[in-house]
Structures are given as structure tokens and as C-alpha cells.
């Protein structure tokens, strides 16, 4: 993974000092609440219901063992001994003290970490595929350009105060796992017919109040121009994006208002001036950064491992875990492993300090000292030998990190919701927990198969509810909490936005609503169909009919 040189280190060190002074001025009342807000937000500090929340950047989800140990220590020392991994592959602390945040950042800087631009109206953490570098279907390792974009976007002076937040995702695989169509800018790397690295650029995607899938603005951009092309797009947005209404300020609204053709015309006209400017990426810089992402020193292993095969046949619990948690790897004899942060009955994406230390140790011993955070809020060891899998499983299981539910109904994507977040309309964690308890039967879960259930506590859609196969959105009606349900959303190359099935439900009704949606699927599915396939084939009608059947029946009784 990328390691800092003296330039990188100096920038984070100077940031700590800058932020320390900003905090000092705020506490000394030299900065008002309103004036401090954009400054603290650009350092990931929210003021929440109970306490401030600090969002720590995990660039494109990559962590070293050393960094995770440090995060565990910080969570212990400055928080309540746990942290929350978010859908932007970052780590959030829910209970730090504002006065402590400069010290936390100083500690982070010692392990090449920071909280720069994890919030606020600026370019946010660049995200990508959690299997970058090891996925068999990978065409290009997206992390190299992700790192180059990260550096370029860090304190970019022209884009320091945009109309609204700005998210960039990069992907280097045929099957998109970075949800590029859901981002303000999505970059899909590919090798063109001359075998040269090129980029398909998407623009104007996003969730939130107005979910919109991105549109292709440039089919074939040579990699050297990645930064200048982004500059052209973001300059047009910075100058013309709305600033009068936060709900209409994302680039997607501008793209829609102008139409993609006119927006593209403006961007291309701007880019004509910026193309080949000094920010054009050089071969030398690409080579320098690429060195940080070279393949691990893998052993030469056979594709099969007898001890692994034996363990599978003799240990059904291990076999079940392997079925869900192990992913293919480029290198024979190796696998990527997902450690579940979704044990039934606790907040999805949360990890205790002890668990973080355990995972950091596992990564150290069995994964070349590196790991990743996925946007599904789990942790990944990307390079584990087949012969080590049983040991990894045993240790992970002993610490509640081996629930065999990856990609299943209880692997819920969930934002912190109304328990923590001051933006939320409704709680989301208790809904997730109640659904996990309703479906706390592994055989049943495995029979239901691949499904994605996403929960957001408000329109801001941190839980990506629009693209969940089942999406749940917390809404506020006259001061009480209700939940709107969508089905048919999906991520990937065929991304789609879910459709609302009907009037919203109370919290207590939610587990049985999900139960009923699953019943329709089980009844209607063909042998090969996943939930999403059945939902897309049939549309919402049969699901709606079954879910609301009882309610409608009750209504009839009342009127009769």
C-alpha cells in the first residue's frame, strides 16, 4: 500500500497544527459556531446528538496492521472502545471530545493517517473496490490512480469550498464493485484496443434526496488527463452549481438542469484550456506510485491445499463460513477473506478495540500486514493462504468476526441513524438488529441466498438504501419515526434505483415486512434467481400485494 514520503508526512503534520489552532480559536471564541463549522467539517468533525463524531479517512479502504492497532488504541483512549466502519470505507468515532480532536489527529499522523476532507463541501475520500489488486477479473489496479487523485484533491485550493460534497469512485474491473454510477464522478479504468490505460468517465450520479445514476461524459480518456479532466468538471460545477439550496446543490442537479449534452459541452470547452497543463500525470509519477502497489511476495503454491480440503469436509461450520466469506484471488493458493462486522444483534459496521487488534494481528500474521474496509462495512484480508484459512477462521470466530453471512440478508448496510446522527429522521441500527434477529437461522439465510438490504436513517442515504435489493429509509411523519421500503435497487454494472412499494411502516412492523418480501421471493423464484432477479422480473406488484394484504384486510373490517 502507499507509504508516505517526507512531503506527505509534512502535509498531515501541518494540517494537525492548522486544525489545532482553529480549535483553539473556536474555544477562545475567536471563531463563531458558524465560522468553525466548515473548518471542523473539513476535518471530519460533526457535532452530533450525544457528542461530536469524528470521521477518520481510510483512503480507498486500505489499512495497515499498524494503522488498525492505532485506531483501536485511539478508540479506547478517546472514545468508548469501539468504532464504526462507514459506507465510504472510513472509520467513525462516536464519542470523542472536541477538545481532544487535535490530539487524536496528531496520533493519527504518526501512522500516516488523517481526517482531511472526510466531510464538508469538498472532494471526499476516494473509494474503490475492496478487492483491488487481487481480484481475478481486474484489468487495472485502481489504487494507483486513486492515490494520485487523493493527493491532487487534498487541499485543492480552487475546490476548497464547493456548493456541496463531492465524491469520486474509481474501478478497475469488468464487474464494477465501486458503484461508479452512484458518484459525482466515477472513473472506470480499462485497457483500450492499443492496450493503453484509459478511463470511462461518469458524472452526476448520487443518492440522497434525489437519487440519480451517473451518465457517461467521456468514453475514452487517456489516464494522463485524469486530473485535468476532473478540474474541468469541478470548475464548471463550482461556478454554476446551486448554492441557495443544499438539497439542490449536488452536481447531479446541475447536470440534470443543463442536460448532459450542454454540461459536456461546457466541460470539454473548459478542458480544452486545461489539457496538458502541468497537473497532467507523468509516466514517472505513475511509476512511482505504482511501486507502492506491487504484488505481495507470494509463495509459489499449488491451486489446491489438502489440509484446507480436509477441513471443509470434516467441519461443516467452517465449510459454511468458507462458502460465504472467501473470494477468488489472482494468485494460486491464495484467497481474499471477508471478516463480518455484522454479527446478529449488534450495530452493523461496528468493531470494538479488541476486535480491531485481533484483525490487525491476523493481517500481520496471515495477510502481509495489510487489510481493507469494504463499502459494505466489513473488513477484508486480501491475501490469505488456503492452508491458513482454518486458523484465521478459528481466531476470527473466537472474536465474533466470522458470522457466515457475507452477502446474505443479515449482512446489512446501515448508517449510524438516529441513535447518533443529528441529521437522521429515524433510528436505523435497531431496525437492522430486529431484522437480524428475525432471520437468525443460518439454513434459512443460506436458502434465501444473495441479497442486499440497506438501511438509511434519512434522505442523505449514507446507508445507500436506494441501491439495496431491499432498501429501508427512515422518514419523519409528524414527529414520529416511520420506514419507507423500496425493492429492486442494485449496485454494479446494472445499477438501478429501487421502487417504493407503498405507504411506510412503523419500526415494529419492519421485521415482518421483510419476512413477507422474502416469502414472495421464495414462492415465485426460479431455480437460478436471486431476490433481485425475481424482483426485477415481477416488479413490485406481487410484493406489494402480500405485504399490504393484512393491512388492507383490516381496513375492510373497519369499514364493514
Partner 1 sequence: MSNLIINDTLANDEWTLVRLPASQIADRKQAGKVVLFKLTGEKTVTEEQISGTAIPATGKIIVPLSVYIARKPELEQRLHANEVGIWVDTHELLEDLLNSVSNINSLPIIAVHVERFADGRIFSLGSLLRTRYGFKNELRAFGDVLRDQLFFLKRSGFSSYVIRADRSAQDALASLKDFSQPYQGAVDNPNPVFKRYNRTA
Which among 424, 507, 481, 491 is positioned nearest to 458, based on CA atoms? 424
Contacts of 186 (CB under 8 A, 6+ apart): 168, 169, 170, 171, 178, 179, 180, 201, 202, 203, 205, 214
**What is the β-pairing status of strands 82-85 and 350-352?**
antiparallel
d(C-alpha 326, C-alpha 55), whole Å: 29
Q: Are 379 and 339 in contact (CB under 8 A)?
A: yes
Q: 65 vs 121, which CB is nearer to partner 1?
A: 121
As measured in angstroms, the least distance from the Cβ of 148 to partner 1 is 9
Q: 157 vs 479, which CB is nearer to partner 1?
A: 157
Q: 5 vs 528, which CB is nearer to partner 1?
A: 5
d(C-alpha 351, C-alpha 360), whole Å: 12
Q: 112 vs 350, which CB is nearer to partner 1?
A: 112
245, 448, 470, 545 from 523: Cα distances, Å: 46, 11, 17, 14
Q: Are 453 and 406 in contact (CB under 8 A)?
A: no
d(C-alpha 414, C-alpha 458), whole Å: 11
As measured in angstroms, the least distance from the Cβ of 373 to partner 1 is 23
As measured in angstroms, the least distance from the Cβ of 238 to partner 1 is 5
Q: 5 vs 261, which CB is nearer to partner 1?
A: 5
Q: How many CB atoms lie within 10 A of CB 194?
A: 6
Q: How many CB atoms lie within 10 A of CB 306?
A: 10
Q: 13 vs 438, which CB is nearer to partner 1?
A: 13
d(C-alpha 464, C-alpha 453), whole Å: 9
Which among 497, 412, 404, 490 is positioned nearest to 456, based on CA atoms? 412
Which among 158, 148, 165, 151 is positioned nearest to 207, based on CA atoms? 165
Helices (H), 247-342: 251-258, 260-274, 283-291, 306-314, 316-325
Q: 285 vs 450, which CB is nearer to partner 1?
A: 285
As measured in angstroms, the least distance from the Cβ of 273 to partner 1 is 6
Q: 258 vs 423, which CB is nearer to partner 1?
A: 258
Which among 516, 518, 476, 484 is positioned nearest to 501, based on CA atoms? 484
CB half-sphere exposure, 400, CA atoms < 13 A: 17
As measured in angstroms, the least distance from the Cβ of 269 to partner 1 is 11
Q: 198 vs 281, which CB is nearer to partner 1?
A: 281
As measured in angstroms, the least distance from the Cβ of 263 to partner 1 is 15
As measured in angstroms, the least distance from the Cβ of 280 to partner 1 is 9
Q: 239 vs 398, which CB is nearer to partner 1?
A: 239
As measured in angstroms, the least distance from the Cβ of 124 to partner 1 is 15
Q: 233 vs 547, which CB is nearer to partner 1?
A: 233
Give the interface with partner 1 as residue ranges (CB under 8 A).
3-5, 7, 10-11, 14-15, 18, 22, 35, 38-39, 121, 151-163, 227, 235, 238-240, 242-244, 273, 277-279, 282, 284-285, 288
Contacts of 202 (CB under 8 A, 6+ apart): 180, 181, 183, 185, 186, 187, 188, 214, 215, 216, 217
Q: 108 vs 470, which CB is nearer to partner 1?
A: 108
As measured in angstroms, the least distance from the Cβ of 288 to partner 1 is 6
* Sheet containing 413-414, strands listed edge to edge, beginning at the edge strand earlier in sequence: 413-414, 453-456, 470-477, 480-487, 499-500
| E-only strand ranges, 161-306 | 168-171, 185-191, 197-203, 215-222
Q: How many CB atoms lie within 10 A of CB 47?
A: 14
CB half-sphere exposure, 354, CA atoms < 13 A: 6
As measured in angstroms, the least distance from the Cβ of 234 to partner 1 is 9
As measured in angstroms, the least distance from the Cβ of 239 to partner 1 is 5
As measured in angstroms, the least distance from the Cβ of 471 to partner 1 is 31
Amino acid at each position: 500500500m502507499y507509504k508516505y514520503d517526507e512531503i506527505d508526512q509534512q502535509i498531515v503534520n501541518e494540517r494537525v497544527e492548522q486544525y489545532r489552532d482553529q480549535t483553539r480559536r473556536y474555544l477562545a471564541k475567536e471563531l463563531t459556531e458558524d465560522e468553525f463549522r466548515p473548518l471542523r467539517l473539513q476535518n471530519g468533525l460533526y457535532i452530533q446528538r450525544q457528542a461530536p463524531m469524528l470521521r477518520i479517512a481510510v483512503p480507498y479502504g486500505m489499512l495497515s496492521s499498524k494503522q488498525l492497532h492505532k485506531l483501536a488504541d485511539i478508540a479506547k483512549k478517546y472514545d468508548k472502545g469501539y468504532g464504526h466502519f462507514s459506507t465510504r470505507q472510513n472509520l467513525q468515532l462516536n464519542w470523542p471530545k472536541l477538545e481532544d480532536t487535535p490530539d487524536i489527529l496528531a496520533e493519527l499522523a504518526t501512522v500516516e493517517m488523517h481526517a482531511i476532507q472526510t466531510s464538508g463541501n469538498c472532494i471526499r475520500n476516494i473509494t474503490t473496490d475492496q478487492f483491488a489488486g487481487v481480484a481475478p477479473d481486474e484489468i487495472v489496479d485502481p489504487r494507483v490512480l486513486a492515490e494520485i487523485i487523493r493527493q491532487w484533491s487534498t487541499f485543492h485550493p480552487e475546490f476548497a469550498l464547493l456548493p456541496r460534497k463531492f465524491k469520486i469512485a474509481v474501478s478497475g474491473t469488468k464487474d464494477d464493485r465501486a458503484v461508479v454510477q452512484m458518484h459525482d464522478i466515477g472513473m472506470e479504468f480499462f485497457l483500450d484496443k492499443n492496450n493503453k490505460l484509459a478511463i470511462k468517465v461518469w458524472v452526476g450520479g448520487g443518492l440522497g434526496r434525489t437519487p440519480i445514476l451517473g451518465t457517461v461524459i467521456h468514453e475514452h480518456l487517456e489516464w494522463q488527463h485524469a486530473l485535468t479532466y476532473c478540474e474541468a468538471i469541478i470548475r464548471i460545477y463550482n461556478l454554476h452549481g446551486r448554492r441557495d439550496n443544499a438539497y439542490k446543490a449536488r452536481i447531479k442537479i446541475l447536470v440534470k438542469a443543463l442536460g448532459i449534452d450542454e454540461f459536456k459541452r461546457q466541460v470539454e470547452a473548459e478542458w480544452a484550456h486545461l489539457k496538458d497543463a502541468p497537473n497532467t500525470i507523468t509516466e514517472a509519477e505513475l511509476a512511482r506510485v505504482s511501486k507502492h502497489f506491487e504484488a505481495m511476495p507470494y509463495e509459489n503454491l499449488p491451486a489446491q491445499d489438502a489440509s484446507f480440503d480436509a477441513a471443509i469436509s470434516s467441519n461443516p461450520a467452517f465449510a459454511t463460513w468458507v462458502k460465504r466469506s472467501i473470494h477468488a484471488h489472482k494468485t494460486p493458493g491464495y484467497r481474499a477473506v471477508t471478516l463480518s462486522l455484522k454479527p446478529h444483534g449488534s450495530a452493523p459496521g461496528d468493531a470494538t478495540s479488541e476486535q480491531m487488534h485481533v484483525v490487525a494481528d491476523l493481517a500481520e500474521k496471515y495477510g502481509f500486514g495489510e487489510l481493507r474496509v469494504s463499502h459494505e462495512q466489513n473488513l477484508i484480508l486480501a491475501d490469505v493462504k488456503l492452508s491458513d484459512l482454518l486458523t484465521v477462521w478459528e481466531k476470527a470466530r473466537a472474536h465474533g468476526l466470522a458470522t457466515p453471512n457475507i452477502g446474505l440478508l443479515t449482512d446489512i448496510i446501515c448508517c449510524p441513524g438516529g441513535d447518533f446522527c443529528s441529521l437522521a429522521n429515524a433510528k436505523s441500527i435497531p431496525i437492522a438488529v430486529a431484522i437480524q434477529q428475525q432471520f437468525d437461522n443460518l439454513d434459512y439465510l443460506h436458502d434465501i441466498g444473495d441479497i442486499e438490504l440497506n438501511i438509511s436513517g434519512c434522505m442523505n442515504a449514507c446507508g445507500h438504501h436506494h441501491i439495496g435489493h431491499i432498501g429501508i429509509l427512515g422518514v419523519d411523519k409528524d414527529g414520529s419515526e416511520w420506514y419507507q421500503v423500496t425493492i429492486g435497487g442494485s449496485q454494479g454494472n446494472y445499477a438501478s434505483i429501487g421502487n417504493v412499494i407503498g405507504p411506510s411502516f412503523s419500526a415494529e412492523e419492519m421485521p415482518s415486512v421483510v419476512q413477507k418480501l422474502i416469502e414472495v421471493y421464495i414462492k415465485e423464484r426460479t431455480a437460478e434467481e436471486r431476490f433481485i432477479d425475481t424482483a426485477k422480473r415481477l416488479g413490485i406488484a406481487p410484493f406489494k400485494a402480500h405485504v399490504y394484504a393484512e393491512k388492507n384486510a383490516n381496513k375492510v373490517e373497519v369499514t364493514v
